[in-house]
Amino acid sequence: MLLPKFDFHEPATIAEACQMMAEFGSEARLIAGGTDLMVNMKHKVISPNHVVSLSRIDDLKKLDLSDSTVKIGACFTVAEITESEEIGKKLSALRTGARALGSPLVRNRATIGGNLGTARPAADLPPSLMVYDAKVVLTKSSGEREVSLDSFFKGPGVTEIQPDEILTEIRVDVPPPHAGAGYINLGIRQAQDCNLVNVASYIALDGPDGTIQSARVVMGCVGPTHLRASSAEKLLIGEKPSDELFEKAGEAAMGDCTPIDDFRGSAQYKKAMVGVLTKRTLGIALKEAKDRG
Amino acid sequence: MKQIIELNVNGESYTVAVNPWQTLNEVLREEINLTGVKLGCGSGDCGACTVMVDGRAVSSCLSLAVEMVGKEIMTVEGMAPSGEELHPIQESFVKKGAIQCGFCTPGMELTALNLLNNNPSPTYNEIREALAGNLCRCTGYKKIIEAVGAAGQKMKEASERKTS
């Protein structure tokens, strides 16, 4: 499989890259890790006239940790997320999601920005970032804007990013004490496979043995984009955590998803697994919320 | 239009004229004649094309050659630079019978090197996880996992001898 022909550009700064994207518009594609783009180009799904590489822009590879916020450059690799103890401590579900992505060879190249920008409904990082209410920074020549991941994904492969914009940073507020999150992905194989269902859950308690103050449940592979299980979230808030409550939340989440039948599994099976994974990820979240207290 | 670029492969510098759409795999095999680098699926699923870039094992079929300027690239040929003495990982693969048809071997060995450089005493499961992106069509996984474990032991002993 050969790549289609293209003109190659290697900007040294974000500003230069923005200028190029403004000039080329939809004729250009950005390349970060290339693990998704190159496969699609080889299969001739896309053949952009211009490929703009982000690999020389060091500003996009930074990890900036403070007590209140984690800022991750769009070209921070998935392997680097798995290796960061600080991310593991502050955003454990993100590290779990990163560990589940592809294989070590893919993780060494794939980037966090790429995994969001390609907007695959089965991707591992979107749910494990959405549970933390993460935001992305979209930059263009005339300025930047911050977009919540909740409104970033528009459909399979479609996002809020405009042709002249670049996803430059991911921003996440560090969860408060007594908060925790969990992520589980289910697939036929444990590596190198497209997920069948993936779910991430987050809960914050108002004290060590308190009630649930806020909750987020995000489901993947069961809709055109990753979905929030809003009725499950509503059911959790204000209640004391328990196995029975998590079971009910799982049942509610099953009603919030819209899976389809495909060769990976039936809609009915995927829906049932949403229930199971919601319950289990809430269990992981609760354990972490108590440990972190 | 072709670009003239300089690549650092196995400690040697190579000046090559490449098209931007040529992958690192094509350039290593066809321009530099390092055919120890294999091409399997071409889409990052099989790991036969594995090379090390700045100390990390990656799929050369999904890497653009033009993006590799200034990076240290290592292929299986660089594991035993003298051409006579094998690397402990290679020795271990031979001794344990971890090579059958041999097509996955260069990728397996480089991925194993990446693992053992970071974790000299991996558990059985850690080895399995590290090799998750390298497929063996002969399905000789058990011997490969054993070979990587034994190589780790050997490399650890050698480095301990050096320091003591």
Q: Are B52 and B114 contacting, i.e. CB atoms less than 8 angstroms apart?
A: yes
A188 pLDDT tier (thresholds 50, 70, 90):
confident
pLDDT of residue B129: 96
Distances (CA, A) of A141 to A23, A24, A200: 11, 13, 35
Place of tokens 């344990």: B96
**A259 domain-assigned:** yes
**Interface contact B63-A109, CB threshold 8 A:** yes
**Interface contact B62-A35, CB threshold 8 A:** yes
A62 and A47 inside one domain: no
Q: Are A123 and A197 contacting, i.e. CB atoms less than 8 angstroms apart?
A: no
Contact with chain A for residue B64, Cβ under 8 A: yes
CATH number at residue A15: 3.30.43.10
**A29 domain-assigned:** yes
pLDDT of residue B160: 87
pLDDT of residue A191: 85
**A2 domain-assigned:** no
* Chain A contact set for B66 (CB, 8 A): 8, 10, 53
CATH number at residue A163: 3.30.465.10
Among A6, A38, A105, select the one facing B20 at the smallest CB separation: A6
Among A6, A55, A104, select the one facing B111 at the smallest CB separation: A104
**A121 domain-assigned:** yes
CA distance B31 to chain A (A): 16
**A271 domain-assigned:** yes
Domain count of the fold of chain A: 3
- The span from the CA of A287 to the CA of A281, in Å, is 10
Q: How many residues does chain A have?
A: 293
- The span from the CA of A127 to the CA of A228, in Å, is 9
**Interface contact B64-A192, CB threshold 8 A:** no
Q: What percent of chain A has pLDDT over 90?
A: 95
pLDDT of residue A293: 67
Q: How many residues does chain B have?
A: 164
> Which residue among A21, A37, A53 closes a domain?
A53
A62 and A169 inside one domain: yes
Residues A218-242: tens digit of each pLDDT: 999 999 999 999 999 999 999 999 9
- Note the pTM of the prediction, 2 decimals: 0.96
Task: Please report the DSSP string for A122-163 in residue order.
Answer: T-SHHHHHHTTT-EEEEEETTEEEEEEGGGTEEETTEES--T
- The span from the CA of A72 to the CA of A32, in Å, is 14
A184 and A251 inside one domain: yes
Domains along the sequence of chain B with CATH: 3-78 (3.10.20.30), 88-163 (1.10.150.120)
A122 and A213 inside one domain: no
Residues A18-30: tens digit of each pLDDT: 999 999 999 999 9
Q: Examine the pLDDT at A257 and tell me if it is beyond 80.
A: yes
Among candidate residues B13, B4, B133, B134, the one with its CA nearest the CA of residue B72: B13
Structure token digits, residue A220: 């993947």
Which residue of A43, A101, A103 is the best one to mutate when testing the B interface, meaning the one whose CB has the most B CBs within 10 A? A103
**A138 domain-assigned:** yes
pLDDT of residue A189: 84
Residue A165 identity (one-letter amino acid): E
pLDDT of residue A130: 98
Contact with chain B for residue A47, Cβ under 8 A: no
Strands A179-186 and A166-173: unpaired
The complex scores an ipTM of 0.95
Average pLDDT on A60-69 reads 96
Contact with chain A for residue B19, Cβ under 8 A: yes
> Which residue among A132, A157, A173 closes a domain?
A173
Q: Are B143 and B96 contacting, i.e. CB atoms less than 8 angstroms apart?
A: yes
Q: Are A165 and A138 contacting, i.e. CB atoms less than 8 angstroms apart?
A: yes
* Chain B contact set for A5 (CB, 8 A): 19, 21
Strands annotated E in B28-86: 50-53, 56-59, 72-74
pLDDT of residue A1: 86
Range of the domain at A30: 7-53
Among B22, B42, B58, select the one facing A105 at the smallest CB separation: B58
Among candidate residues A120, A280, A55, A43, the one with its CA nearest the CA of residue B41: A43
**Interface contact B42-A190, CB threshold 8 A:** no
Average pLDDT on A192-203 reads 94
A232 and A283 inside one domain: yes
Query: Judging by beta carbons within 10 Å of its beta carbon (0-12, 13-18, 19+), is residue B116 exposed, middle or buried?
Result: buried
Q: What is the dihedral of CA A90, A93, A96, A97, to 10 degrees?
A: -120
Q: Which residues pair with B17 in a beta bridge?
A: B4
Q: For chain B, which ranges sit under pLDDT 50?
A: none
- Nearest residue in chain A measured CA to CA from B60: A105
pLDDT of residue A292: 83
Query: Greater confidence, A293 or A132?
Result: A132
- The span from the CA of A189 to the CA of A79, in Å, is 20
Interface of A with B in 56-115 (CB under 8 A): 79, 102-106, 108-109
A227 and A266 inside one domain: yes
> Which residue among A173, A191, A212 closes a domain?
A173
- Nearest residue in chain B measured CA to CA from A35: B62
Place of tokens 């190659």: A8
- The span from the CA of A29 to the CA of A12, in Å, is 16
- Nearest residue in chain A measured CA to CA from B118: A83
Average pLDDT on A184-192 reads 89
**A1 domain-assigned:** no
